[in-house]
Copies of this chain bind each other. A is one copy, B any other.
């Protein structure tokens, strides 16, 4: 678990501020739930491994001795959403669009870049099966990243039914689908012959395996064809590729009904994404799997080239949010990887400079005991003018005060010496240039603001 010192908090709040602003523009509303849930609400919802990673809280008072737990720390934001949906059904709109940015806790073994307390940052739209929802979710997440300064990301999209259709059309037995996908996922690392070997070990029909690998090999070939066709314009190339891939999918799944329906939905999402202005961001990727367990429709993931793993991911999961309600609630959601976004932005130096430096715009120094109250009054005036003002608390030597301001990267120091006070002026030192000059007291705020 981590402490966030001031510079860390500023970076985090900057990112969270952009996320909130963008999500609100898309009509999402904020939700917050308590850190602590009843233990029964969480147990059994995340598999056996999840059960072990949940932090459990002892009963209080005399029951503490029993060693029993009745509460637990929030493990994700989806189960609390499901609880809220069941608990406040009448108070929530039919299409509940919520965002939630809160910490979760997992008793993972601490490792580099992995923390036991970390923030999740989820948006979900409940209540509709329209593919508009998928497009809105992708557009909102893209918009967040664009506004943060990312310009090289792609939104990869696939559909669980399309995936099933492809596997069935290839002839992979239904019960082997998960195993086939795990092996297929290693194609880049172990090559075609490596995957074929794994298929054999996992008991996947050899001919089906070959058909599957041929299909994906042919898709990889489309990349070059698209470049030849439209040239190097990345946006146009992506659009051409998406159309070509959809064509190949239709061809390959043939009369597989589930697959055809999935592909239809992908086509809808693609059309709406174009209207959302993110057509050139989308990559239809028939190999995207995202751990199939609870997704029921489209799945998506956002990646940048130089980062293994994703900046976020999500999809449609129509059978989860209604778990405490006892009925299916259509839902589609996306989770931005806040911690990862911050890591990448720090590495790439994407944070605005002003954010990383100074805790104040100006520091008022303390000249001597007799002028102290006047220094306080100056601080008051400059704060009224909406500046961030620090006030040095002790009448230390002025050199020491300058050094302090300089170490904290405060750009200006104001000094109320006897001469300046007599003339109704303030000596203002620019700590970056070292230049110091007298300024009329009523112009100090303006003078500082001009040079910030």
When C-beta atoms are compared, the residue in chain B nearest to A404 turns out to be B94
- Does residue A130 face the partner (Cβ distance < 8 Å to B)? yes
Tell me how far the C-beta of A129 lies from the nearest C-beta in chain B, rounded to whole angstroms.
8
**Once the chains bind, are B25 and A408 in contact (CB under 8 Å)?**
no
A376: contacting residue among B105, B117, B275, CB under 8 A: B275
Q: Which residues of B contact A84 (CB under 8 A)?
A: 3, 5
Q: Which residues of B contact A258 (CB under 8 A)?
A: none
Question: Copies of this chain, how many?
Answer: 2
Q: Enumerate 8 A-B pairs (CB-CB under 8 Å) in ascending A order.
A: A4-B31, A6-B30, A25-B389, A35-B117, A57-B58, A58-B58, A132-B391, A275-B373
Stretch from A60-68, A150-158, A285-293, A424-432 that touches the partner: A60-68
Q: Which residues of B contact A240 (CB under 8 A)?
A: none
**Once the chains bind, are B56 and A3 in contact (CB under 8 Å)?**
no
- Does residue A372 face the partner (Cβ distance < 8 Å to B)? yes
Tell me how far the C-beta of A74 lies from the nearest C-beta in chain B, rounded to whole angstroms.
10
- Seen from chain A, the residues whose Cβ lies within 8 Å of a Cβ on chain B are 1-6, 8-10, 12-13, 24-36, 52-53, 55-58, 60-61, 64-69, 71, 73, 84, 87-88, 91-95, 97-98, 103, 105, 107, 116-117, 125, 127-128, 130, 132-133, 135-136, 139, 143, 271-272, 274-277, 359-360, 363, 366, 372-374, 376-377, 379-380, 383-384, 386-394, 404, 407-408
Consensus secondary structure, chain A interface = mixed
Q: Which residues of B contact A87 (CB under 8 A)?
A: 3
**Once the chains bind, are B133 and A380 in contact (CB under 8 Å)?**
no
Given A88-B5, A376-B135, are A93 and B407 also a contact pair (CB < 8 Å)? yes
A64 to B371, CA, bound (A): 62
When C-beta atoms are compared, the residue in chain B nearest to A116 turns out to be B36
**Once the chains bind, are A27 and B388 in contact (CB under 8 Å)?**
yes
